[in-house]
Amino acid sequence: MRMYDLIMKKRNGAALTAEEMQYMITEYVAGRIPDYQMSAFLMAVYFKGMSEEETLAMTQAVAHSGDMVDLSGIEGSKIDKHSTGGVGDKTTLIIAPIVAACGAKVAKMSGRGLGHTGGTVDKLESIPGMHTSLDEKKFFEIVNQTGLCVIGQSGNLAPADKKLYALRDVTATVDSIPLIAVSIMSKKLAAGNDGILLDVKTGSGAFMKTVEDSIALAKEMVSIGENAGKKTVALITDMDIPLGHNIGNSLEIIEAVETLKGKGPSDLTEVCLQLAANMLFLAHKGSLKECRNMAQHALDSGKALERLIAMVEAQGGDVSVIRDTGKFPRAPFAHPVFAKKTGYITSMNAESCGIASAMLGAGRETKESQLDYAAGIIINSKTGDYVKEGQIIATLHASDESLFAAAEKRYLEAIQIGDEKPEEKPLVYARVTKEDVEKLF
Ligand code: URA
């Protein structure tokens, strides 16, 4: 087999076989196929796409390029959840405890922040003492004991994806739906769960800016999951506006805890209940309606909050800050942002809100950047709200006052104020299964 022939085959629009895909990925990871040939292949995929069988074959090959986690040491149904990334997206911290409280298991490997989006592992590490790097034995032990454990992704999970992603990043091939689907699903297949819930974000703060593209990506990922023998469902959820009110690592933990206490913002609570219900459905806990009721009960009864406390304790974290979020270390400086005029907030660019938070120290500029866990933004007014000139619409938090001017400018540029109240958008646009795309708006 020659890589040259495989590039030509793809360039001409034909589909590679599973054997050819396996050859290409194995040889690429071994360094016997150079980056320039793989770049040409990726660009050919960008223009010609891939068939369903081909996408599955590439995903399997990428998944098998590293460790395939075996979760059989954990009793019960293990359900994974993956978000395509957003701003203020702290859903894992709420859903995982809800699902565990209802009897399914969450053995989850999460990522760190990337660009304008936050990462669950960074958020968890803002809890003093919290360990997110655990060996397999401890990971299994905690899931069996508490029902859930969230750790960082193991170093050898789908190494081919790391190499391919770095190459896509510099060859203008990141925004290819089949390549995104392969990248995400290879890691999900390698993580070894029984069922997978995909939270595909859509809007200004998401990878996919339109509902149509988000549905197309969801359909590809659901088909890969199902064809690989995993029960897979996707929800298309809104990321045109940041989710909830808090952006930033410990600020998001605080909001997640408030939500688990039943005092969270209504958008965040509703999205979490729908995601949790779908995870419980994948765990065969009942009909979607029954699962929704179970999730609601886990919140109302405080059982989900107890699960989060148990997990934090088992992972070495200081549970006193969860019991009383007032004990979280706070940023020494706070800076109010005032509305520049009177009217309705007609739109917020969620990506810019995320960048403004990162500029305050909540995100990384380079891979080596140190995070300021207490930095971030508390949003008072969101799209659809009526504001008066001079009213505080958000508060910026940072450890260095000199960061406020640029972050405030970025934040204000993200907010549009007009005379007309904008139409309310749905929080969940669609539910995508193997059989169907159910539009929910
Ligand atoms: N997230 C991933 O893991 N891979 C992509 O290609 C895009 C988003």
Q: What is the CATH number of the domain that holds 31?
A: 1.20.970.10
> Which whole-number Å values give the CA distances from 143 to 78, 106, 383, in the listed order?
10, 7, 39
Please give the torsion angle defined by the CA atoms of residues 120, 125, 129 and 130, in that order, rounded to the nearest 10 degrees.
20
Q: Are residues 18 and 154 in the same domain?
A: no
Nearest CA to 23 among 53, 65, 83, 69?
65
Residues linked to residue 109 through DSSP beta bridges, in sequence order: 151
Residue 182 lies in a domain: yes
Count of structural domains, the chain: 3
161 is catalytic: yes
Q: How far apart are CA 174 and CA 166, in angstroms?
A: 9
- Give the list of residues 6+ apart from residue 137 with CB closer than 8 angstroms, or none: none
Kindly report the protein residue whose alpha carbon is nearest to atom 6 of ligand 1.
Answer: 180
Q: How far apart are CA 226 and CA 248, in angstroms?
A: 35
Return the pLDDT at 164. Answer: 95
Residue 73 lies in a domain: no
Q: Are residues 128 and 208 in the same domain?
A: yes
Residue 347 lies in a domain: yes
Q: How far apart are CA 73 and CA 206, in angstroms?
A: 35
* Candidate of 50, 80, 84 to mutate for ligand 1, largest count of ligand atoms within 8 Å of Cβ: 84
Q: Are residues 127 and 20 in the same domain?
A: no
Residue 414 lies in a domain: yes
The residue written with tokens 């204000």 in the block is: 412
Q: How far apart are CA 224 and CA 214, in angstroms?
A: 15
Which among 89, 161, 213, 240 is annotated as catalytic? 161
Q: Are residues 217 and 316 in the same domain?
A: yes
Please give the torsion angle defined by the CA atoms of residues 68, 72, 74 and 75, in that order, rounded to the nearest 10 degrees.
150
Q: How far apart are CA 42 and CA 37, in angstroms?
A: 9
Q: What is the CATH number of the domain that holds 382?
A: 3.90.1170.30
Q: Are residues 138 and 284 in the same domain?
A: yes
> Which whole-number Å values give the CA distances from 401 to 61, 373, 394, 408, in the listed order?
49, 16, 16, 11
Angle of the 303-314 helix axis to the 249-260 helix axis, nearest 10: 140
Q: Are residues 385 and 317 in the same domain?
A: no
Return the pLDDT at 153. Answer: 87
Q: Are residues 44 and 161 in the same domain?
A: no
Q: Are residues 19 and 136 in the same domain?
A: no
* DSSP state letters, 124-180: HHTSTT------HHHHHHHHHHHSEEEEEPPTTSSHHHHHHHHHHHHTT-SS-HHHH
67 is catalytic: no
User: Can you list the alpha helix ranges (DSSP code H) found in 315-374?
Assistant: 320-323, 350-357
Burial-class residue 214 by CB neighbours within 10 Å (0-12, 13-18, 19+): buried
User: Residue 183 corresponds to which tokens in the numbers above?
Assistant: 């990248």
Return the pLDDT at 207. Answer: 87
Q: Are residues 135 and 241 in the same domain?
A: yes
The rounded Å distance from CA 244 to ligand 1 centre is 23
Helix (H) / strand (E) containing 307: helix 303-314
Kindly report the protein residue whose alpha carbon is nearest to atom 2 of ligand 1.
Answer: 184
> Which whole-number Å values give the CA distances from 74 to 9, 134, 139, 357, in the listed order?
43, 15, 9, 38
User: Residue 236 corresponds to which tokens in the numbers above?
Assistant: 């298309």
169 is catalytic: no
187 is catalytic: yes
Residue 343 lies in a domain: yes
Nearest CA to 180 among 55, 284, 267?
55
Out of 283, 305, 323, pick the residue that ends a domain.
323
Q: Are residues 268 and 391 in the same domain?
A: no
Return the pLDDT at 342. Answer: 98
Q: What is the CATH number of the domain that holds 125?
A: 3.40.1030.10
Return the pLDDT at 20. Answer: 98
Kindly report the protein residue whose alpha carbon is nearest to atom 5 of ligand 1.
Answer: 180
User: Residue 388 corresponds to which tokens in the numbers above?
Assistant: 């008066």
pLDDT in tens, the chain (441 residues): 999 999 999 999 999 999 999 999 999 999 999 999 999 999 999 999 999 999 999 999 999 999 999 999 999 999 999 999 899 999 999 999 999 999 999 999 998 887 788 889 999 999 999 999 999 999 999 999 999 999 998 879 999 999 999 999 899 998 899 999 999 999 999 999 999 999 999 999 998 999 999 999 999 999 999 999 999 999 999 999 999 999 999 999 999 999 999 999 999 999 999 999 999 999 999 999 999 999 999 999 999 999 999 999 999 999 999 999 999 999 999 999 999 999 999 999 999 999 999 999 999 877 777 899 999 999 999 999 999 999 999 999 999 999 999 999 999 999 999 999 999 999 999 999 999 999 988
* AA identity, residue 257: V
Residue 413 lies in a domain: yes
Ligand 1 pocket by Cβ (under 6 Å): 165, 180, 183-184, 207
Q: How far apart are CA 240 and CA 186, in angstroms?
A: 27
Q: Are residues 361 and 283 in the same domain?
A: no
Domain region containing 8: 3-49
Q: Are residues 368 and 243 in the same domain?
A: no
Return the pLDDT at 169. Answer: 87
Return the pLDDT at 218. Answer: 98
Helix (H) / strand (E) containing 394: strand 392-398
* Candidate of 112, 177, 184 to mutate for ligand 1, largest count of ligand atoms within 8 Å of Cβ: 184
201 is catalytic: no
Nearest CA to 260 among 311, 213, 296?
296
The rounded Å distance from CA 175 to ligand 1 centre is 9
Burial-class residue 209 by CB neighbours within 10 Å (0-12, 13-18, 19+): middle
Which among 110, 176, 183, 204 is annotated as catalytic? 183
Residue 195 lies in a domain: yes
Return the pLDDT at 45. Answer: 98
Residue 83 lies in a domain: yes
